Structure 1
Amino acid sequence: MSTQFSIIIADDHAMFLDGLKSILAEESSIKIVLTAKTGAQVLKYLRINTEEKIDLIITDINMPEMDGVELNNAIKAEFPNIKTLVVSMLEDPKKIKTLTDDNANGYISKNAEKKELLVAIKTILNGDNYFSQRIKQIAMEAMFSAKQQQEITLTKREKEVLKLIAQEFTTQEIADKLFLSKHTIESYRKNLISKLGVRNLAGLTRYAVEQGLLD
C-alpha cells in the first residue's frame, strides 16, 4: 500500500496495545494517531478533530464506559466513512450479529497470528471486509439456529408440558396436573425432544429457559 493510512486503536489492555503498536510500527503506510482505553475517548477525539481523516478504527469489545459494539454503532452513525475492525477474545454470536448488522468491516480473534491481523487491516483499508473463518462459522451457525427456532411453533399444550418438565415435575405429576394420561405426557415429551432437536430433558429445560417459558 503506497497511500498513508491513519488509524486509531481502542483497547484497555496495555499488553495488546503495545503488541499491536509494535507490529504496525513496521508498516510505513500505516500511522497510529491515537490509542484509547475506552470507546468514549475515541468518539471525543473524532468529534473534536473533524478535519482529520481517519481511515480505520481497531477496537476491542469489552471496554469501560463504552464497549466496542456501542463504539462501532456510533462511528457508523456519525462517521460512516471510517472503517472498523473488531479484535476480541469474545465469540458471542449475538454480539457478532449486532456488529455485522451495524456494518462493522471486520472481526478477528486476539489469538490470530500476526500475519492474519495484518491481512485483515490491509484488506479493510483497501476497501473490502475481513471476517476470520472462525467468526464466519459462528455467524452462520447463529443464523441457522435462529432460522430453526423461527420455524418451530409449539401448541399451547406443548408449552404447558414443556414448562412443567423444565420445573422438574415427574411424568405422573404432569399428567395429574393436566388431567391427561401418563402415556400421553410421555408422547408429548418424546415429540418435544424430536421437534426441538434436543437430546434429553436437559435440552428441553434449556430451550424453555431460552424462550422465557419460566418467566
Structure 2
Amino acid sequence: MSKPYQMIIADDHAMFIDGVKSILTHEPDIEVVLTASNGAQVLKYLQINGGEAIDLIITDINMPDMDGVALNKAVKEMFPNIKTLVVSMLEDADTIKNLTEANVNGYISKNSEKQELLTAIRTILEGNPYFSNRIKQVVMNAMFEAKTAPKITLTSREEEVIKLIAQEYTTQEIADALFLSKHTIESYRKSLISKLNVRNLAGLTRYAIENKLID
C-alpha cells in the first residue's frame, strides 16, 4: 500500500474535528496527523516540521489568533504545494473572493453531507478544485448584484474630502486644507456616509482604499 495522504484539521469546535476524524477513520489511505483550534497552531507545526509531507489542510474560517483566511494565505505563500479546503458556515461573497484570489483549493458548507466532504477531499487530492453548488451560487449572486447596482460617482470635491478622511485628517485640518468651513466639511462627511452606504469614517476609509483613491 502506498503512503497515506497526510491531513491537518483546523477548527475551534472540538465536535466538528471529532466528526471529520470519524468520517476519515474509514478512509484507509488518509491519515490525520494534526488537529488544531486555530491557524497559528497549524502554521507553527508546518514551520517546525516542514510542509513537504502534508497533502491537505481542512480549515474553518472563524478561529481565534489566526483565522482560516489568514491561514490559507500564509500556507499558500510558504508551502504552495499544500492544498487547502475551507469547511465553514460562513457564506460571504467577499470572503470567498479573498480565498479564491489566495488560491484556496475548495470551499464547502458545514451543512454539507458526509459524501460531499469526501468528494471535495478526493477531488482536491486529485489536483482539481472543488466548490459546492451553494458556494458557487453565492459568488454568482454577488457578481449579478455588482453588475446591476448603480455606479456611484463622486464629485472632485467629495474625492478630496474622502482622501483626507482616509489619511486621518481631522475635520478642522480638512477644512483648512481645502479652504472651507468646518461646518461644510461636516456636511460633506455626513453626505458621503449616506451616499456610499457606510456606517462611519472607517467605512469611508475602506471605500477610499478599495477604489484606489489613496495609495
Q: TM-score, normalised by structure 2?
A: 0.71
What residue number does 1:121 align with? 121
SS across alignment from 1:17: helix
Q: Select between 5-14 and 139-148 the one with higher mean Cα deviation.
A: 139-148
Q: Does 1:27 align with 2:27?
A: yes
Q: Quick one: distance in 2 between partners of 1:125 and 1:18?
A: 21
How big is the shift at 1:57?
0.2
Q: Does 1:70 align with 2:70?
A: yes
Q: Deviations over 1:40-67 (max 9, x none)?
A: 0000000000165100000000000000
From 166, 182, 197, give the equivalent of 1:209. 197
How big is the shift at 1:141?
1.7
Q: Quick one: distance in 2 between partners of 1:212 and 1:134?
A: 32
Change in CA separation of 1:63 and 1:120 when aligned onto 2, cut-off 3 Å: same
Q: Quick one: distance in 1 between partners of 2:17 and 2:121?
A: 15
Q: TM-score, normalised by structure 1?
A: 0.71
How big is the shift at 1:143?
2.3
Q: Quick one: distance in 2 between partners of 1:56 and 1:129?
A: 12
What is the aligned length? 167
- What is the 5 A alignment of 1:1-215? 4-50=4-50, 52-149=52-149, 152-154=151-153, 156=155, 208-210=196-198
Q: Quick one: distance in 2 between partners of 1:207 and 1:7?
A: 47
Does the 8 Å contact 2:51/2:82 carry over to 1?
no
What residue number does 2:172 align with? none
How big is the shift at 1:144?
2.7
**Equivalent AA in structure 1 for residue 151 of structure 2:** I
**Equivalent AA in structure 2 for residue 152 of structure 1:** K
How big is the shift at 1:152?
1.9
Change in CA separation of 1:51 and 1:60 when aligned onto 2, cut-off 3 Å: closer
**Equivalent AA in structure 2 for residue 209 of structure 1:** N
Aligned-residue identity in percent: 62
State which structure, 1 or 2, has the greater radius of gyration over its C-alpha atoms: 1
Q: Deviations over 1:178-207 (max 9, x none)?
A: xxxxxxxxxxxxxxxxxxxxxxxxxxx987
Change in CA separation of 1:131 and 1:51 when aligned onto 2, cut-off 3 Å: closer
Q: Quick one: distance in 2 between partners of 1:40 and 1:72?
A: 11
Q: Quick one: distance in 2 between partners of 1:90 and 1:11?
A: 13
Gaps of 5+ in 1: 160-204
Q: Quick one: distance in 2 between partners of 1:134 and 1:15?
A: 23
**Equivalent AA in structure 1 for residue 22 of structure 2:** S
RMSD: 2.6
Q: Deviations over 1:81-120 (max 9, x none)?
A: 0000000000111101100111100000000000101000
Change in CA separation of 1:144 and 1:45 when aligned onto 2, cut-off 3 Å: same
